[in-house]
Amino acid sequence: MNVSTPSPALPNLENEATLLNAMRRGELMDGACAGREVLQHVTSRWGVLILLVLETRVHRFSELRRAIGGVSERMLAQTLQWLEADGLVNRKVFDVMPPHVEYSLTPLGLEAAEKVRSLADWVVSSLPKILEYQAEQQRIAEPQP
């Protein structure tokens, strides 16, 4: 029987089966794991929002920018490039003037969008509790007269 030794940096993870499986698949806790970069792209503020918007339909760049309030052109372009390089976003260029580019999700991108939608739904539904907690922490931190 082959029993793997837990990482000395993570001695209490024996009971975290999901995380251990993820670690076995990509050694996510290893600083050199390529999965960390993908995780950053997918779970960044703009990555999540892009996936959610593209989950609905194909969009042009300007449509994405309007749909995602607060994103700069630079950050939108950079995040789309990351997601495209990770195989999550398709970029289709039409040979017309003016240039016409459309973005859509790949099958892998659709899977990712489904996962981050669950997280986004949890954030939205939990926001009242989170804001209440933050307000309470701020009250506690304020100096008393």
- Identify the CATH number of the domain in which residue 74 sits: 1.10.10.10
Any domain includes 5:
no
Give the number of domains in the chain: 1
Q: Is the peptide bond before 98 cis (omega within 30 degrees of 0)?
A: yes
Residue 28, pLDDT score: 74
Q: First CA to last CA across the chain, in angstroms? A: 65
Residue 12, pLDDT score: 47
Query: Could you report the per-residue pLDDT of 104-145, keeping only the tens digit for each?
Result: 999 999 999 999 999 999 999 999 999 999 999 998 888 777
- Cβ neighbours, 10 Å, residue 4: 8
Query: Could you report the per-residue pLDDT of 18-68, keeping only the tens digit for each?
Result: 666 665 665 777 778 888 889 899 999 999 999 999 999 999 999 999 999
Backbone φ and ψ of 51, nearest 5°: -60, -40
Strand order in the sheet with 89-94: 59-60, 100-105, 89-94
Confidence of residue 15 (pLDDT cuts 50, 70, 90): very low
Q: Which domain holds residue 51?
A: 32-141
Query: Could you report the per-residue pLDDT of 76-85, keeping only the tens digit for each?
Result: 999 999 999 9
- Cβ neighbours, 10 Å, residue 121: 11
